[in-house]
Amino acid sequence: MAKATGSIILVVEDEEQTREYFVATLAADDTVQRVHKASTFDEGLAHLFAEAPDVMLVDLGLPDGSGIDLIRFAREHSPGTLCMVITALGDEASIFGALEAGALGYLLKSEGPEDLRQAVAQLLAGGAPISPGIASHLLRRFADPIDSSGTRAKNSGLTGRETEALELIVKGCTYQEVAGAMGITRNTATSHIRSIYRKLEVRSRGEAVYEAISKGIVQVDEQD
User: Checking DSSP bridges between strand 65-66 and strand 55-58, what pairing results, if any?
Assistant: unpaired
Q: What DSSP letter does each residue of 109-168 carry, written as one string?
A: TTS-HHHHHHHHHHHHTT---B-HHHHHHHHHHTSS---TTSSPPP-TT--HHHHHHHHH
Mean pLDDT of 91-108: 86
Owning domain of residue 177: 142-214
Q: Is residue 77 one of the residues assigned to a domain?
A: yes
Q: 221 lies in a domain? A: no
Q: Give domain status of residue 137, yes or no.
A: no
Lowest mean pLDDT among 67-76, 157-166, 202-211: 202-211
Q: Do the beta carbons of residue 59 and residue 51 sit within 8 Å?
A: no
Average pLDDT estimate for 105-126: 88
Q: Tell which wins on pLDDT, 88 or 10.
A: 10
Q: What's residue 221's pLDDT?
A: 54
Residue 10's pLDDT band (cuts 50, 70, 90): very high
Q: Are residues 114 and 11 in the same domain?
A: yes
Same domain? For 87 and 119 the reply is yes
Same-domain pairing of 160 and 95: no
Among residues 85, 109, 130, the one where a domain terminates is 130
My answer on whether 22 and 119 are in the same domain is yes
Single out the residue in 82, 105, 130 at which a domain terminates: 130
Whether 149 contacts 155, CB under 8 Å: no
pLDDT at 206 over 90: no
**Same domain, yes or no, for 166 and 103?**
no
Distance CA 212, CA 221 (A): 13
Mean pLDDT of 122-133: 82
Kindly tell me if the per-residue pLDDT of 30 is higher than 50: yes
- Alpha helices of the chain — where are they, by DSSP H? 16-27, 41-50, 67-77, 92-101, 113-124, 132-141, 160-170, 175-182, 186-200, 205-214
> With the CA atoms of 185, 191, 192 and 195 taken in that order, what torsion angle do they form, in degrees rounded to the nearest 10?
180
Q: For 9-13, 58-62, 127-131, 207-211, which range has the lowest pLDDT when averaged over its residues? A: 207-211
Region of poorest pLDDT, from 1-10, 15-24, 56-65, 179-188: 1-10
Same domain, 109 and 155: no
pLDDT average, residue stretch 100-129: 87
Kindly report, residue by residue over 172-185, the tens digit of the pLDDT: 788 888 889 999 98
Are both 115 and 188 inside the same structural domain?
Answer: no
The whole-number average pLDDT for the span 112-125 is 89
Is 131 or 105 the better-scoring residue by pLDDT? 105
For the chain, the average pLDDT equals 82
Q: Same domain for 78 and 159? A: no
> For residue 217, what is the DSSP state?
S
Q: What is the pLDDT of residue 2?
A: 39
Parallel/antiparallel/unpaired status of strands 65-66 and 61-62? antiparallel
Identify residue 108 by its one-letter amino acid code: L
CATH of the domain at 150: 1.10.10.10
Greater confidence, 29 or 148?
Answer: 29
The answer to whether residues 91 and 151 belong to one domain is: no
Above pLDDT 70, what percent of the chain?
A: 85
- Domain co-membership, 59 together with 154: no
pLDDT band at 1 (very low <50, low <70, confident <90, very high): very low
- d(CA 24, CA 35) in angstroms, rounded, equals 9
Count of domains forming the chain? 2
Phi and psi angles of residue 119, each rounded to the nearest 5 degrees, phi first: -65, -40
Rounded Cα gap, residues 205 and 3, in angstroms: 27
Q: With cut-offs at 50, 70 and 90, classify the pLDDT of residue 155.
A: very low
Whether residue 105 is found in the same domain as residue 9: yes
Question: 109 and 66 in one domain?
Answer: yes
